[in-house]
Amino acid sequence: MDKMWAGRFQKALDSRADDFNSSIRFDSRMYRQDICGSMAHAAMLGAQGIISQADAAEIIDALAGILHDLERGALAFDMASEDIHMFVEAELTRRIGDVGKRLHTARSRNDQVALDIRLYLRDETTALIVQLGTLLSALADKAEAHKAAIMPGYTHLQRAQPITFGHHLMAYAMMFTRDIGRMKDALRRMNESPLGCCALAGTTYDTDRMATARALDFDGITLNSLDGVADRDFGVELLSAYALTMTHLSRFSEEIVLWASWEFKFIELDDAYSTGSSIMPQKKNPDMAELVRGKTGRVYGDLMALLTVLKGLPLAYNKDMQEDKEALFDAIDTLKMCLNVFTPMVATMQVLEDNMRRAASNGFINATDCADYLVKKGMPFRSAYKITGELVAECIEKRTTLEKLPLEAYRAHSGLFDGDLYEDIRLEACVAKRISAGGTGIASVEKQIAFVRAFVEKM
């Protein structure tokens, strides 16, 4: 097949260089966006009188036929084509002859690919947002079911204070709401059409860029033609949002791995989301969570790859920018794949409330409440903190807990201690007393769940 740019050259491209230069292997996934962009462009050319209305209509009809044939499998991609743009144009010309050659009037592959990638990212990110909404709903359901389940809260992976499992799940839900917000922000900023910027300087034809922008649901147009073809900030922004989402999935996965271990045994993963060992028949491995944790590094790498590609590029378009797609496509595929498995894994996991409550009974995680008891009786917090620390040390020496230490032992440290202490340091009471906004108290957790459900409803 002759190259579209063959007129300038005396010699055919070396087959190795041709293969190296080609992007059809990966950019063919943008066929729908490429064809829809071309249909909008053809309609504008006809409306502006740049080509005849009859030619525009014939081009649009043929493009619709190509799209239909691709989607039903009646047309295969020609891997000898340089890219998706050249494939579509060649197929169009094959079907309607010279009329098809008019399509590329007042357009360059530079603004065409900039358009395609924006359209593709808009579609795929919108789908990812829907997936994150499904995960949020699963978290809200699970949190609702276990909003009163006592578990140890940790700092430094040391037992710190009692919380509820519902509260813990809502912490991750808040992360995912921010991830959705970041993706939506990035989509809003990128929703400007570069079509009509041409190679870099615009065109001598009397085009209507706003018409194509409206036809493709953009909010407006890129205001500088150099920036329009050279900008990939939106890709970096979205990759950053994808990477941070993977960070949150990875942190959650790490906790699931810990919780599923015999050392914790806070949860039991469903058999459908676990694997076994080739030689150890007793094993039940949290491989899905581990893979999510591992795949996070891939998305980080995709972000760094695009940043590195862009860092030294002069304006406007450079072939280096072809490298944006594989990084973006890989990140989208990876995040989509992780969410497809992660959401049902969380939805189906069994929460072992008794084990959580048992773990919370050890580690003196009600020590702060013991100190607060003295503060409410009038003692300065630092003095109360010191006395409680001494009581913990005494419990460790006597191999007992604060709940089981006799009242006379408390009174030996301060006469402010009385019989009501034991109710005050009971774990359920410790949780119930956390009445501050955003805390682990059940009423607060219920408000968090309601917020998440409302957030999903408004998405």
Neighbours of 71 (CB within 10 A): 11
Q: What is the mean pLDDT of residues 296-324?
A: 96
Q: What is the mean pLDDT of residues 313-342?
A: 96
Helix (H) or strand (E) holding 192: strand 192-193
Backbone phi, then psi, for 207, in 5-degree steps?
A: -85, 165
Q: What is the mean pLDDT of residues 148-164?
A: 95
pLDDT of residue 104: 96
Known catalytic residue: 85?
no
Known catalytic residue: 52?
no
Percent of the chain whose pLDDT exceeds 70: 97
Exactly one of 52, 68, 261, 277 is catalytic; name it: 277
CA–CA separation, 218 vs 121, rounded Å?
Answer: 13
Start-to-end CA distance of the chain, whole Å, equals: 47
CA 41 to chain CA mean position, Å: 32
CA–CA separation, 272 vs 252, rounded Å?
Answer: 19
pLDDT of residue 3: 58
CA–CA separation, 329 vs 326, rounded Å?
Answer: 5
Domains of the chain: 19-105 (1.10.275.10), 110-143+150-356 (1.20.200.10), 359-458 (1.10.40.30)
Residue 151: helix, strand or coil by DSSP?
strand
Pairing relationship of beta strands 150-155 and 158-164 according to DSSP bridges? antiparallel
Digit-coded pLDDT (tens) for 225-266: 999 999 999 999 999 999 999 999 999 999 999 999 999 999
pLDDT of residue 277: 82
Exactly one of 15, 156, 278, 436 is catalytic; name it: 156
Taking a C-beta distance cutoff of 8 angstroms, is the pair 425, 361 a contact?
no
Digit-coded pLDDT (tens) for 107-142: 999 999 999 999 999 999 999 999 999 999 999 999
